[in-house]
Structure 1
Amino acid sequence: MRLTVFGTGYLGATHAACMAELGHDVLGVDVDPDKIAALRAGRVPFYEPGLEELLAKHTASGRLRFTTSYEEAAAFGRVHFVCVGTPQRKDSDAADLRHVDAVVDGLRAHLGDAPALVVGKSTVPVGTAERLAERLEGKAELAWNPEFLREGFAVQDTLRPDRLVLGVRSEPAEALLREVYAPVIDAGTPVVTADFPTAELVKTAANAFLATKISFINAMAEVCEATGADVSVLARAIGHDERIGSRFLRAGIGFGGGCLPKDIRAFAARAEELGTGRSLAFLREVDAINLRRRERTVELSRELCGGSLEGKRVAVLGAAFKPDSDDIRDSPALDIACRIHLQGAEVTVFDPEAMDNARKAYPALGYAVSAPDAVRGADLVLHLTEWPQFGALDPAELAAATARPRIIDGRGFLDGARWAAAGWEFHALGRPAQPRQERP
């Protein structure tokens, strides 16, 4: 089938390459000519495991092409996916839908008389699909097919998703989407058919639940710090309850990225617009708990440095908001690094993939070529992005390079006993400190 994908950012580029992998002829569309030029050359402008290989494979075969022309795109395919971003508005917590509206209006202006299906994948406030369907009336039918991609696993989540949600109003629209996703459905992926409002709410509700679970265990970390309890043991104990489960119960500096924070804020803002603000008022506290963990990390850093960060050398391991990504949008790691820098510390950052993005966005920070280089002469080390490479570091080797082997594990990821045995003073949020053990 011939498909178009509007928007070639994180969602769109991934969707386009994966649709080509499923056997479709795909045309990616973007208004940014530099981005299109890079994609035509087989280069992905961000880091996502497995994506560059798919892109190169299908641009070489001719199954995947890119353009800046809406006219070409409208004539190319029968199914048009809308995959542009919906960032937080600068003047409120609400979602900025300008890019979504621009795609729909631009596409509508070039659609002919042939049947067409426009499929929204962008995360939008409930009610958006109804409004867009009215704008497309007489030109194309609308469907809503929310995405559930995890950065670092986006290719896997597209080719082998845990569910497909099809927001449709007609049997032909559902049949067409089932044809698009036939290889995925045949592999056993569950399909949920829904109306527009439900399809829109699935993504925002899922993000709200995930954010709540993460903030819950971080709230428990606050209580554990006040009482001397260990949040890691607490999480393990309650995680055995099958009604709760253990996933995303690791306390730390909280969530970030370009989706979760802005999506829960937009959800709460939309609830206010609908007159049901009280139903999602708890999301404001979820957001506040999340941000407090960053503040607590800075506070703990200051405490460990004798009450002042002025003139201290602090190493930060991690810049991306999560591992297997170079995305620094709302990165807790860089937020903490900047706050510590503003308190007078000399901060040096290392990340396996996000260094270029971090340097461009935060040029006042220092940057190292490796983790050992970052910790050299450090008075304090902060582990803030849980890259597997950091878990595999030799703590004894790193200890010898520091001015003082003292670390805060902001992700609850490192083996505290191993680091303490290697001579480190080990701290983690919500857990009792592990004093350094003198090595024989």
Structure 2
Amino acid sequence: MTQSGAQQPDGLELRRILGVGDAIVIGLGSMVGAGIFAALAPAAQAAGSGLLIGLAVAAVVAYCNASSSARLAALYPASGGTYVYGRERLGVFWGYLAGWSFVVGKTASCAAMALTVGAYVWPGQSHVVAVAAVVALTAVNYGGMQKSALLTRVIVAVVLAVLASVVVVCLGSGAADTAHLDIGASGGAGGVLQGAGLLFFAFAGYARIATLGEEVRDPARTIPRAIPLALGITLVVYAAVAVSVLSVLGADGLGRAAAPLADAVRAAGVPALVPVVRVGAAVAALGSLLALILGVSRTTLAMARDRHLPGALAAVHPRFKVPHRAELAMGVVVAALAATVDVRGAIGFSSFGVLAYYAVANAAAWTLRSTPASRVVPAVGLLGCVVLAFALPWVSVGVGAGVLGLGAAAYGIRRWTSARRP
């Protein structure tokens, strides 16, 4: 294999149209999404009064992952993200395993986000709405990256406005109690780590910037700037929302909440804001789904180019310059999942797959020529990914490990059959 920055055959290259601002917005659209509306309650249930500690742990691991991804993306500015980095730095198998983890885990995330849209828009027909959302956003992505980036800007603006309203209402209400913010660890160390693993689900979208490397202008400069900026903005938003909701509901109340942000504004004495929060959650989920489909289709494109997936999926549309077959294939698979699966199981499985993906990214960053001090970040990131992955609920760990094992077995069988051919 050549370095992934190498040119593709004529007609197969994607169009470089995204600047720093566009890349940051796409990263924000991936992170400041439905995760903050859904992940706080199960994380509080696991971590108890240690929720803010869990948020800090998730942020540290996310920062390490983002730093490693940014360094690698500057060297390998092609579609595929850690699939490419693992292949180039660690070998073909590790790149394949990262790509497999990403595609499978994020396909589950797509289904979870689509179902979140359905749950907020029309709870009685959530599966129908979910499928419709997948079809609509696949069509938007098919029309070209410029349309996707524009829609993402609108979604991010709406979601940030809703979250700002929640923070102001909760912190300014008479129901706010600073005693609820006492930092402890009533869930124990294991509970805090499990909470961090669940909260990581809401942070993981910065990979979308790296997976779109082939569509970013001046990627060696743009990607390393966009990833930490998007992550930093997201961390500030999440910390503000977590503190404001905790101040009203407390850790126990937050852990029991079915719709934590809606419950928080209701407890703050502003029930009129509840419908706005519901709309914000639906829009946030749409933003996450849009960015997820973008990222999964680009990793599918990269793996298809290397024949780890059917070669037909490597096609790029001659007019729109997007991987149209990969996008359509992902749309069909996600729509089928959204019609049949449960959102809670999808989130746990997705978290395991994404943490495995970033473990490979950190291991790849460790191999870069650098000083011993600069290896601290990928070392901490790798250790953090492994610890958080195995701190998740045992069902998620078991299913996730099993699916990764199936992917590894498929790779081994493919290599064995290829070697036996005359």
Please classify the TM superposition score into its range, dividing by the shorter chain length. Answer: under 0.3
Q: Which has the larger share of strand?
A: 1
**Which protein is bigger by CA-based radius of gyration?**
1
TM-score by length of 2: 0.24
With a CA cutoff of 8 Å and minimum separation of 6, indicate the structure with the bigger relative contact order: 2
